[in-house]
Amino acid sequence: MITPHGADALNPRYVSDGAYRSELLAEAESLPSLVLNSAAAANAVMLGGGYFSPLDGFMNLADAMSVAVSMQTGDGLFWPVPILNLCADVGGIEVARRIALRDPNVPGEPVLAVMEVASIEAASNNQLDTMIQAVFGTTDDGHPGVAEFRSLGRYCVSGPIDVLNFSYFERDFPDTFRTAVHIRAEIGRLGWETSVAFQTRNPMHLAHETLCRMAMERLDADGLVIHMLLGKLKPGDTPGGVRDACIRKMVQLAFPADTVMVTGYGFDMLYAGPREALLHALFRQNMGITHLIVGRDHAGVGDYYGPFDSQAIFERIPPDALEIDIFPADHVAWSKKLGRVIMMREAPDHAPDDYLVLSGTNLRELLQNGIHPPPEITRPEVADILMDYYSR
């Protein structure tokens, strides 16, 4: 099995010892509190689950700037995206050495983690713009990731954390949310030597299914991990529960038993294109995955990135930066000539009219209008689930 990133073992920040966790919860009631924003809470959940190993907490400003500019921390660890706890107001915690981090996504804002405060620093406008340009490739506020980042505040609160729970993810997605620790252990139990991960924030249609099968066959993989983002999305994206039901139905119909894990992780989508693709690969390595499928416009949004920028960036990082490999994929679509889904770059004899291509927007329009998607796009059983949701 592939080794974790930057260390021999994972560094999950979740406190698994029940007695110590109870002790920290009791201590937290007397500590100054900081209510996190959703982005920082998602980072805490990822740290808790070992996804962001070997980090032990939130980066300080120097590390964040170094990661933005050179994709490595001050001590030389490869990292593609700053892992920050940014906030707009530090009133009440300015001189605190330990603080309780509270969850903005759960009613009552319960304690999510306890933090040892290493520093509180104010980022300048220039520093914020440098990070935004480096991570997102633009400073345009029309980009949803840029707009979200600018809304977080300028104060960088850094230091190691002890995570006490996984927010709403375990409660809302009990059969799907899994930590990197859990997935790595399950891959070991199954004895998978070569494995493939598929990242998704949408239901999987016939093209996605075929792409996963192509990757498994061409890599001679033992198993596939469908790993869906369960956190904050953008308006119009399919809710997590509906997406989960669609994917499980597809797996039941399309893949042999014990070859696919359907899992999810608690993170907010960044829409950072190439940089986010690298982060996706890094935490899949921590899960024990050997290959990540990276398709056209992976983690992109709008027209901010070229269709293959998220693949090309892997050619520009040091060869020893990551151990995980990618499976680079072109767009996949139904071929009218061949009567099956194919990868477009592998069909030089096809003209645009030889394909049946339906965008996510077009598909939602069909569903909202009560039109059953064609079987060339979506398995009928999956379409039934989507139709049921969109007809409510």
Q: Which residues contact 243 (CB under 8 A, 6 or more apart)?
A: 200, 201, 202, 203, 228
CA-to-CA distance for 257 and 358, rounded, in angstroms? 30
Distance set, CA 325 to CA 212, 292, 348 (Å): 15, 7, 26
CA-to-CA distance for 175 and 4, rounded, in angstroms? 24
Assess contact for 202 and 360: CB atoms under 8 A. yes
| Backbone angles phi and psi of 331, in degrees to 5 | -65, 140
CB atoms within 10 A of CB 186: 17
Catalytic residue of the set 21, 98, 150, 201: 201
Listing DSSP states for 26-54 in one string gives HHHTTS-EEEPPHHHHHHHHHHHTTTTTT
Helices (H), the chain: 18-28, 38-48, 61-70, 125-136, 144-151, 169-172, 180-190, 206-219, 240-254, 274-287, 309-312, 360-368, 380-390
201 is catalytic: yes
Of 235, 144, 180, 205, nearest to 48 by C-alpha is 180
Catalytic residue of the set 98, 150, 154, 202: 202
CA-to-CA distance for 167 and 38, rounded, in angstroms? 11
Please work out, in degrees rounded to the nearest 5, the angle formed at the alpha carbon of residue 56 by the alpha carbons of 189 and 197.
40
CA-to-CA distance for 162 and 165, rounded, in angstroms? 10
Assess contact for 309 and 273: CB atoms under 8 A. yes
Hey, what are 272's tokens?
């950072």
202 is catalytic: yes
Instruction: Provide the annotated active-site residues.
Output: 201-202
